[in-house]
Structure 1
Amino acid sequence: MKTFNTKSSVINEQWHVFDATDKVLGRLATEVSTLLQGKHKPIYAKNLITGDHVVVVNASKVKVTGKKLEQKMYYRHSHYPGSLKATPLSKIQEDHPDRVIREAVRGMLPKTSLGRQMLSRLKVYAGELHPHGAQIKDSARPEIVVEEEIAPAINQVHQAQTEVEEIAPPVDQVHQAQTEVEEIAPPVDQVHQAQTEVEEIAPPVDQVDEAQTEVEEIAPPVDQVDEAQTEVEEIAPPVDQVDEAQTEVEEEGK
């Protein structure tokens, strides 16, 4: 197995932008120092600058925890007796907000010439504007560019999915209705069995049609039946006369 040694020719430098709005100072400095040193890359080497460039905007809106605004002090000394000066964090944040983040990151970098070169790659701005738009755009990773291109389509898919979820009934209601239908309806095997029994008992359709044809050929037409019934009614005496004649016969027999 051959050991891999990082060379300057294989180092790919990227640009990153951080918005410091409402972010904790220490945690932000940790992320920035990691990117500056290149510890997020598998080709990290202590003897080379394998890190990236970092741009921090809105440095004036960074936050600190506890009472650090009043208690944390920044010291500087001119190396003359009695020249020690201490400035609270609140004063530095008000006058030079970029120095707060820069000093926090400086303390997390190596105290060597490489550390100073890494710190020179940090660009901190108090507001939200910065002049490094071209470098950041050119260093965008391909997967990020692809995500930006398909982002509108993804948003449309999410919107359509939300509309469908609003229209469609909840899944639990669908399962409940399906369970009720299954409880009421007979099983499929019973339905097939009953259908088979009916087909075995009932005669075939062609036999039914044939029998119906024979009946129609034997039976007289309906108009002939009506005509014969009319003639019978004209010949036969009325029912009341028949009843009267039957009564007279019964009296004579007595």
Structure 2
Amino acid sequence: MTSPLDRVDTSTAHSARVYDYILGGKDHYLVDVEAGDAMCRHWPSLPVHMRENRRFMHRAGRFLAEEKGVRQFLDIGTGLPTAPNLHEVVQKAAPESHVVYVDNDPIVLTHARALLQSSPEGATAYVDADMHDPDAILDSPEFSELLDLDKPVGLMIIGMLHFILPPDDHRLVRRLLDPLPSGSFLAMTIGTADFAPEEVGQVAEEYARQNMPMALRDLPTATSFFDGLELVEPGVVQVHKWRPGDGQHAVDDRAIAMYGAVARKP
């Protein structure tokens, strides 16, 4: 029987492992360290940017659970487990919450057990699938068993969309959103070079050299992903400016290359 780790390609960097390395994790290889170091040389603010992206996920998940009563979530592009994970955030507010995690990285798959440590009242599951194949997600037994499509779902696409290139980007987001009922929410972060174009552009070039091409989007393009949805205040803003709360520390806008927003499906 083959292990998920047999699928790991240690000759090329992987976005989830680079992310893990830059955030101080342990699940990466030398090639990921070299790529991450090169990216940080281009843009020393990259670790700050990545941490703020994750903090947005925490705030958005908490907002949906506490203020909007959402009790089930679909998390696309989960990444390597970094506490608190989404289910820990939402189950703290509502222990009965269900979370379906989705990723296609074999290292994430080996850590899926850590992602499945749900509260006794709730449930979590992991789907080994790619956002480029939304039907594999929507047709999975985990999706149908944990998510009741008669009730709102929080669709979380965090730190993922910049790896989904046009012209497929809008279609793939809509394919995941379309089956979800009215009253569901989309929480998404969208990479941009609007605030540090030279540095972020160099990071994007480094990703491309590592065979991870990305699309960086300006504000009108980022906002277009929420067409037909009801944006929650303050709308589409840099992630550190989305409902930061009283405890938010000061962050330089030039250190953040991600827009974030939450919107309701009518």
Compute the TM-score of the two structures, normalised by the length of structure 2: 0.24
For the pair shown, which has the larger CA radius of gyration, 1 or 2? 1
Structure having the larger proportion of residues in strand = 2
Structure having the larger proportion of residues in helix = 1
